[in-house]
Structure 1
Amino acid sequence: MQVQELGHLVLYVRDIERSVRFYRDVLGWRQILPAPGDGGELDRKPFAAFNAPSGRTHHELLLIEVGEDAAALPEGRRVGLYHFGLKIGTTDDELRAALAKLAETGTPVLGMSDHTATHSLYIADPDGNEIELYVDVPGIDWETPEALGSPAKPLYL
C-alpha cells in the first residue's frame, strides 16, 4: 500500500454553529453540507462538511457536534493530534493578509515561526484544536535536509 495524499480531516466540536462560523467565515472554507441557508434552525444538523475553494476533492473537513458537555482537550504534553497545517498561499503578503483577518475577527495568534521551508502562524479553533496557517518559502529545495530539519526561528511580519 502507498498513501497518495491526505484526503480529509474529521473533528469533533462542541457547538456546530460556532465551529461552522469559524471555519467558513474566518478561514474561508466552502461549506458544502448542509448547504448554507437551507431551512435554518428547524433543519439544524449535528455535522458540517467543507472543501477548500479549489474544490480539490469531495470534502476536506468534516465537523461533528458532540455537545457542550464533551471532555476538553487535555493541557500540555499528550498523545494525539498536535496541529494540522493549512497552506494559505505562497507569499508573506498572503500571511500578512491572514494576520489582518485574524485580528479583524478577534482570533488570537498563538505563535509565528520561520521554519526555513515555510512561514507559519498558529491559531486555535473554538474547541482548542491548533491550526498552522502557512506559506511555502519560494526557492527552497525540498530535497535538502536543511530545508526540512532546520530549527524554528521567530517570524516577523
Structure 2
Amino acid sequence: MASPAKLAHVVLRTGQLQPMLDWYLEVLEGTVTFANEAIAFLTYDDEHHRIAIANTGASQRPGDSHTGMHHIAFTYANLADLLGTYQRLNNQGIKPFWTINHGPTTSMYYADPDGNNIELQIDNFETDEQLQQFFDSGAFAANPIGVEFDAAELRARYESGEPIAELVKRP
C-alpha cells in the first residue's frame, strides 16, 4: 500500500466563473493554465493546476448546515510572506473574516465570492519535535481552537522588529 505523493488540486463548482477566477488569481498570485467558458485551471507553483473552477451554474452558498469541505488551507514559507499577503489583499479590499493563532499555525481565513473558505497560514514550529512538545504540554488540549489576533497589529509588531518567535507564540 502506498500513500499519495501529494495533493494535486481542488475543484470548485460555481455559477460565476470569472469573479471566482479573478479572486483566486488575486489571492494566490496565480496564473491561468487553461480557461474556457466551462472550466478554468490555475496554479501558483510548478503544478499544472492547483485549483480548478467548474462553471456548473451552482448558486447556493455553502453553510454550516451543509456537508462537505469547510476550507482549503495554503501554507506560506514564513511570517513575512503571510503578512505581506495580508497587506496586499487588504489594499485590494479583500479582508480576512477570522485571524487566529491555533498554536500549530498562525492563520487568516478568507471567503471567496461563492462563500467557500480558505485559510492562509504559516507553521509556528520549525520542527516536528517542537510541535509535538506543544501538543504534549496540554496547551492544545486546553484550547484546541486557539487565540484570535488583530492582523494589522501583528503586522505592526513584525515591522517594529519584534522577534518572530514572540509573534507566533500563542498567548
Superposed pair shares fold, TM > 0.5 = yes
5+ residue gaps, structure 1, are: 35-43
Give the structure 2 partner of residue 114 of structure 1.
101
Question: Paired residue for 1:47?
Answer: 39
- Correspondence for 1:22: 23
8 Å Cα contact 1:26-1:105 kept in structure 2: no
> Larger % of helix: which?
2
> What is the identity percentage for the equivalent residue pairs of Structure 1 and Structure 2?
25
TM-score of the two chains, using structure 1 as the length reference: 0.79
One-letter identity of the residue aligned with 2:43: N
- Equivalence map 1:95-134=2 (5 Å): 95-134=82-121
State the alpha-carbon separation in 1 of the partners of residues 88 and 20 from structure 2.
17
What is the TM-score when the length of structure 2 is the normalising length? 0.73
Structure having greater relative contact order (Cα 8 Å, sep ≥ 6)? 1
Matches within 5 A, 1:8-157: 8-34=9-35, 44-52=36-44, 54-55=45-46, 57-67=47-57, 70-91=58-79, 93-140=80-127, 141-144=130-133, 146=135, 150=140, 151=144, 152-156=146-150, 157=154
Does 135-144 or 102-111 show the bigger shift?
A: 135-144
